[in-house]
Structure 1
């Protein structure tokens, strides 16, 4: 495959990947928030169990 064709295909792939990368960043952020909420819930449950 010649370099020009390869560069064109790479450009197309990069464009196609942009929405996927955006979605991935959103999912990673949501996972982080859920882990924080999980930690808070575990702490609350531990407090309730002590009482």
Structure 2
């Protein structure tokens, strides 16, 4: 699964969350993993 596919999956799960606790769990489990992989791979956010 590519990083973009992982992000898409996490966002779909996040938007489907029905409670704040569920959203926090998704963020902590999915987004945290995604972001750590992106940073480890040398990804830098685009300047605003």
TM over 0.5: no
Give the structure with the higher percent helix.
Answer: 1
Which one has a bigger Cα radius of gyration? Answer: 1
Structure with more contact order per residue of length (Cα contacts < 8 Å, sep ≥ 6): 2
TM-score (norm: length of structure 1): 0.33
